[in-house]
């Protein structure tokens, strides 16, 4: 993260401690989102995110920025639909402009197998809570008149597609900064330039990590309690 951004986003860098309740390896979207949600939803704030480079320096800072749920596997649809919903509220929740823009996603196909696939995708998506619909070439033209339905001079005509009206884009690095700030505001420590080099173990259990700045215990022994729903 550069100095300009650091001045805009309220990130407070703390010294690395030798023990936290939770240690998360990697300051990408997954690590920071885990830290943010542990802190904001579960009140678990004694958390360290250890990042060997800078936050968002992995995939999360260099992706295509599409937020969508139109996957073909039932489990994935439900999972990603939840993400689409969470992303749509992230600006309001964090007070940070992540450039979230719900613009819809048009998935085009050229040929009979692709058309069949989009029909199947739409059915699976709707069955598992996503709003993807199959669209005919005429409907593609209505949704986006700029599409050349006879692409390649008629060689690759658009034969159909699917449309997901709730799909969006968001600026990837703003997402990680918003999550980092939201987590840090609640007490989470994020440590950049801290590489995890190994695991600390007690028997067959992982109890912490080794880093290039020293060992960090994850507090598992002290706080771990098996979940017993009847005990509250």
Q: Could you list the residues that contact ligand FAD (CB under 6 A)? A: 25-31, 50-53, 57-60, 62-66, 195-196
Tokens for 171, please give them: 């600026």
Minimum CB separation of residue 229 from ligand FAD in Å reads 30
Judged by beta carbon, residue 115 or residue 209, the one nearer ligand FAD is: 209
Judged by beta carbon, residue 65 or residue 88, the one nearer ligand FAD is: 65
41 half-sphere exposure, CB direction, 13 A CA radius? 8
Tokens for 183, please give them: 């987590």
* Contacts for 65 with CB less than 8 Å, ≥ 6 apart: 169, 170, 171, 172
Judged by beta carbon, residue 88 or residue 149, the one nearer ligand FAD is: 88
Minimum CB separation of residue 152 from ligand FAD in Å reads 25
Minimum CB separation of residue 34 from ligand FAD in Å reads 9
Q: What is the DSSP letter of 212?
A: B
Judged by beta carbon, residue 90 or residue 159, the one nearer ligand FAD is: 90
- Tell me how long the chain is: 232
Q: Which of left, alpha, beta for 99 (phi over 0: left; psi -120 to 50: alpha)?
A: left
Minimum CB separation of residue 118 from ligand FAD in Å reads 19
Minimum CB separation of residue 1 from ligand FAD in Å reads 12
* Contacts for 76 with CB less than 8 Å, ≥ 6 apart: none
Judged by beta carbon, residue 26 or residue 115, the one nearer ligand FAD is: 26
Tokens for 112, please give them: 């009979």
Judged by beta carbon, residue 24 or residue 115, the one nearer ligand FAD is: 24
DSSP bridge partners of 202: 205
DSSP bridge partners of 205: 202
Minimum CB separation of residue 66 from ligand FAD in Å reads 3
- Angle at 219 (CA atoms; ends 46, 23), nearest 5 degrees: 55
Do 38 and 155 contact (CB within 8 A), yes or no? no
């Amino acid at each position: 993260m550069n100095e300009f951004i650091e001045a805009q986003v309220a990130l407070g860098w703390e010294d690395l401690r030798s023990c936290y309740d939770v240690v998360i390896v990697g300051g990408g979207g997954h690590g920071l989102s885990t830290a943010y949600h542990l802190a904001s939803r579960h009140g678990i704030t004694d958390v360290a995110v250890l990042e060997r480079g800078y936050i968002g320096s992995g995939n999360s800072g260099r992706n295509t920025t599409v937020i969508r749920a139109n996957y073909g596997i039932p489990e994935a649809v439900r999972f990603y639909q939840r993400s689409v919903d969470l992303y749509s509220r992230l600006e309001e929740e964090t007070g940070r402009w992540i450039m979230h823009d719900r613009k819809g996603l048009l998935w085009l196909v050229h040929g009979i197998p692709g058309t069949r696939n989009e029909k199947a995708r739409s059915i699976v998506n709707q069955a598992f809570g996503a709003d993807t619909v199959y669209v005919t070439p005429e409907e593609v033209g209505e949704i986006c008149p700029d599409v050349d339905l006879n692409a390649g001079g008629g060689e690759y005509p658009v034969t159909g597609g699917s449309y997901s009206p709730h799909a969006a884009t968001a600026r990837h690095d703003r997402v990680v900064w918003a999550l980092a700030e939201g987590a840090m505001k609640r007490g989470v420590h994020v440590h950049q330039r801290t590489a995890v080099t190994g695991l600390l173990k007690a028997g067959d259990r992982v109890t912490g990590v080794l880093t290039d700045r020293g060992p960090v215990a994850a507090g598992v022994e002290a706080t771990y309690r098996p979940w017993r729903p009847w005990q509250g």
